[in-house]
Amino acid sequence: MTLIDRDQEDDVVRSDAGRGPTIGEVVEKRVSRRAFLKGATIGATLVIGAQGLQTSVASAQEAQPQQTMRLDFTKIEPSAEDRLILADGHSAAVVLRWGDPLTADAPEFDANNLTGAAQEKQFGYNCDFVGYFPIPANTLSNVGILTVNHEYTNPELMFAGYNLEAPEPTREQVDVELAAHGVSVVLVQLENGTWTYDRNAGINRRYTATSPMRISGPAAGLDWLKTSANPDGTMAQGTLNNCAGGKTPWGTMLTAEENFHQYYANLALLPADDPRYAVHERYGLPEEGSERRWENYYDRFDVSKEPNDSFQQGWVVEIDPYDPGFVPVKRTALGRFRHEGATFAVAPSGRVAFYTGDDARFEYMYKFVTNRAWNPNDKAANADLLDDGVLYVARFDEDGTGEWLPLIYGQGPLTEENGFASQGDLLIKTRLAADLLGATKMDRPEDIEASPVTGKVYALMTNNNQRGTEGRPGVDAANPRPDNRTGHVIELVEANNDHAATTFSWEIFLLCGDPSDESTYFAGFDKSQVSPIACPDNLTFDRAGNVWIATDGAFSPLKTNDGLFAVPAEGSQRGYVQQFFSTVFGSEVCGPEFTPDNQSLFIAIQHPGEGSTFAEPSSTWPDGGVPRPSLIVARRDGGGMVGLAAETAQPAPQATLGDGALALFSGFLSRQFRPTKAE
């Protein structure tokens, strides 16, 4: 989540403000929903990608974890210190810092001499989503490719003397910021317990806010996607505000463009009767100057001069990490909004569902389902699978059921009479289409992922302090608390465990906050034992199927740093939230990603020291000087699975690449696994 869109305020949550449901009311609703679930067919077959690359077919019963797999750490106490804290028996190390050189010709990081040209070859700023891609058709957990999103920049922490209140950036500063956005792709290896990367690896690269990208799908070539730089509407200029993301079962990365609106300026100078005005307004583009003032140097960010540039942002972008020559593709069939994540689950038919949220107050949850099954034996056959499918938006009903409403041109109110000229036009205006269908307005839907063990889907609602305020929607069953500053988690079961289904059942899994708050709820677990948790943001699963939740914004309601929390989703400890990790001051925790053997856990630490300045930073992590957003890795001391009982660890195939072999291996990957390139 970016600074411009922070929902939390600095005041402490009032004890008498917006009381939510009592625990008795929540449990009563949950019991009734459980009764409904008993009538559903839970044992149907499910297909889901394990660790995002390998797929398996198993019944829900067969997919249960081994009984010996259990969480195996003592939860830590919340902290507000400027240091990393992990559960006993675990340690963390920095893998990549902002500014680390990624290529042989990249300069070393120099905080006092930043340039756009250097930043294009260095690790970007504010790392978010992390994807670990082992060698295809294998499960190597010590040699792989990392893809890391770089969501946004904090110029007040990057440049000496930067005035955040009245910004007047130089062109060079803007160029650094443009280059610090986007995605990093890096080949890494584990040797003697330490993760390293080789800057000579030819596969290492950056994608930035100016990199050329192809536009595909129903909206490609439409007039509103045509700009001065790309007059045919089939190419885009860069990617912005890359927040969470996902993987595909065929081994590509999906990066989600979230709060793109903040980079644009001067909507008020566009004539109000221009049909683009209302759409820009619905997507939150500023009427006057942007907070960054990039428009001072680049007309593309001035809506009055380039009214269509922002239509090229707000999509899900596909990248092949194994192919250095791959041109990223903006997949318009998945809709345009402030995407948070794009995570997959495979249906019994072989069709693939992708879950994604629109991370803003009172926005919606979405699912895209491909029309064709994916081909596990031919990567190239899946090259355009994301261009052909149906986008759905979720409606949550009061009785614990729900429906995925199709966003299809010509159906229901989605017609020319209501302002939609084609399917592509509808997808550019996804929010307006979802409004007409009566989808449920959520408390900022963030990461949404399906469990590789049970197939259940977990959706994080990070917070919404405007729920129930004057002129805003009130509470509903799926968003049951007014002034919801600590967020909640919904558990969703697709009909017949089919991720291509159009109906589902659901219940509240967690109502986050301080356990002493009577409105909190932890799946029925004893609240006196759980860790306080607020503002759930990203999630992942360990090999046992436990949910690991990263938070963003906990300091406002709880006055503690953000962290990473593990919680069982099944069994007698269901709902037992335990804090595993606490981050440094001013930062959020993003992109938790296990290696296939569960023995390494990558964690992105975003915006350390946010709220302070370059001259007087509130955090000096990780090196004691200027704060640098960084990617870390957590491992169990002495070996074994992170967070899980050590005796359950299963050895995975290993390989060692040394003596400059990483560069050769990079070339091998490029030759062996090159898909059909973008035209």
- CA distance linking residue 607 with residue 84, whole number of Å: 14
Q: Go through the chain and tell me how many residues it has.
A: 679
Residue 515 backbone zone (phi > 0: left; psi -120 to 50: alpha; other: beta):
alpha
Is the per-residue pLDDT at 648 higher than 90? Answer: no
11 Cβ contact partners less than 8 Å away, ≥ 6 residues apart: none
The chain-wide mean pLDDT, for the chain, equals 88
Nearest to 219 by CA among 378, 90, 386: 386
**Which tokens go with 165?**
């209140």
Confidence of residue 67 (pLDDT cuts 50, 70, 90): very low
Nearest to 609 by CA among 625, 629, 585: 585
Is the per-residue pLDDT at 35 higher than 90? Answer: no
14 Cβ contact partners less than 8 Å away, ≥ 6 residues apart: none
Tell me the pairing of strands 329-331 and 212-216. Answer: parallel
Cα end-to-end distance, the chain, whole Å: 33
Whole-number pLDDT of residue 68? 58
Whole-number pLDDT of residue 413? 98
**Which tokens go with 499?**
């991720």
Helix or strand holding residue 116 (H, E): helix 116-119
Is the per-residue pLDDT at 122 higher than 70? Answer: yes
Instruction: Supply the DSSP string of 592-657, one letter for each residue.
Output: EEE-TTSS-EEEEEE-TTTTS-SSS-S--TTTTSS---EEEEEEETTSS-TTB-GGG---------
Cβ–Cβ < 8 Å for 411, 436: no
Whole-number pLDDT of residue 6? 42
Nearest to 335 by CA among 351, 352, 356, 319: 356
Confidence of residue 69 (pLDDT cuts 50, 70, 90): confident
Nearest to 666 by CA among 203, 132, 135: 203
**Is 167 a domain residue?**
yes
Which amino acid appears at position 13 of this protein? V
Distances (CA, A) of 560 to 271, 547, 552: 46, 21, 11
The reply to whether the predicted model has a pTM over 0.85 is yes
- CA distance linking residue 507 with residue 401, whole number of Å: 9
Measured CA angle at 559 (ends 558, 564), to 5 deg: 70
% of the chain exceeding 90 in pLDDT: 84
Q: Which residues of 202-236 are buried (b: 16+ CB within 10 A; e: fewer)?
A: bbbbbbbbbbebbbbbbbbebebbbbeebeebbbb
Instruction: Supply the DSSP string of 249-297, one letter for each residue.
Output: TTS-EEEEE--GGGG-B-GGGS-TTSHHHHHHHHTT--SS--SS-GGGT
Instruction: Supply the DSSP string of 352-409, one letter for each residue.
Output: EEEEEEE-SEEE-EEEEEEEEE--TT-GGGGTTGGGSEEEEEEEE-TTSEEEEEE--T
430 Cβ contact partners less than 8 Å away, ≥ 6 residues apart: 335, 336, 337, 366, 391, 407
Nearest to 575 by CA among 63, 78, 27, 44: 27
Whole-number pLDDT of residue 139? 78
Confidence of residue 31 (pLDDT cuts 50, 70, 90): very low
If DSSP codes are grouped into helix, strand and coil, which group holds residue 50? strand
Which amino acid appears at position 557 of this protein? P
Secondary structure letter of residue 96 according to DSSP: E
Is the per-residue pLDDT at 266 higher than 70? Answer: yes
> Which comes out higher in pLDDT, residue 16 or 608?
608
- CA distance linking residue 122 with residue 114, whole number of Å: 11
CA torsion sign, 378 to 678 to 325 to 338? negative
Whole-number pLDDT of residue 64? 42
- CA distance linking residue 184 with residue 204, whole number of Å: 8
- CA distance linking residue 420 with residue 434, whole number of Å: 12
Is the per-residue pLDDT at 455 higher than 90? Answer: yes
**Is 224 a domain residue?**
yes
The arithmetic mean of pLDDT across residues 293-297, rounded, is: 98
**Which tokens go with 623?**
């090196």
Cβ–Cβ < 8 Å for 55, 47: yes
Nearest to 53 by CA among 212, 188, 275, 246: 246
Whole-number pLDDT of residue 132? 98
**Which tokens go with 107?**
């300069």
Whole-number pLDDT of residue 8? 41
Confidence of residue 137 (pLDDT cuts 50, 70, 90): low
The arithmetic mean of pLDDT across residues 175-182, rounded, is: 98
**Which tokens go with 175?**
């160029």
Whole-number pLDDT of residue 449? 98
**Is 301 a domain residue?**
no
Burial class (CB in 10 A: 0-12, 13-18, 19+), 672: exposed
- CA distance linking residue 125 with residue 624, whole number of Å: 18
% of the chain exceeding 70 in pLDDT: 85
Is the per-residue pLDDT at 632 higher than 90? Answer: yes
Radius of gyration of the CA atoms of the chain, in A = 23
Residue range 96-114, pLDDT digits in tens: 999 999 999 999 999 999 9
Residue range 456-509, pLDDT digits in tens: 999 999 999 999 999 999 999 999 999 999 999 999 999 999 999 999 999 999
Is the per-residue pLDDT at 536 higher than 50? Answer: yes
**Is 419 a domain residue?**
yes
Show the beta-strand stretches assigned E in 523-596: 536-541, 547-551, 563-567, 578-582, 588-594
Show the beta-strand stretches assigned E in 496-572: 503-511, 521-522, 536-541, 547-551, 563-567
Is the per-residue pLDDT at 33 higher than 60? Answer: no
Residue range 537-576, pLDDT digits in tens: 999 999 999 999 999 999 999 999 999 999 999 999 999 9
Distances (CA, A) of 543 to 50, 69, 598: 9, 8, 7
Peptide bond into 622 cis (omega under 30): yes
Is the per-residue pLDDT at 24 higher than 60? Answer: no
Whole-number pLDDT of residue 554? 98
**Is 498 a domain residue?**
yes
Confidence of residue 290 (pLDDT cuts 50, 70, 90): very high
**Is 338 a domain residue?**
yes
**Is 54 a domain residue?**
yes
Residue 671 backbone zone (phi > 0: left; psi -120 to 50: alpha; other: beta):
alpha
Cβ–Cβ < 8 Å for 247, 395: no
Which amino acid appears at position 171 of this protein? R
Which amino acid appears at position 210 of this protein? T
**Residues spanned by the domain of 624:** 3-258+314-672
**Is 293 a domain residue?**
no
Measured CA angle at 75 (ends 71, 78), to 5 deg: 145
Give bridge partners of residue 374 from the DSSP assignment: none
202 Cβ contact partners less than 8 Å away, ≥ 6 residues apart: 324, 663, 666, 667, 670
Overall number of domains in the chain: 1
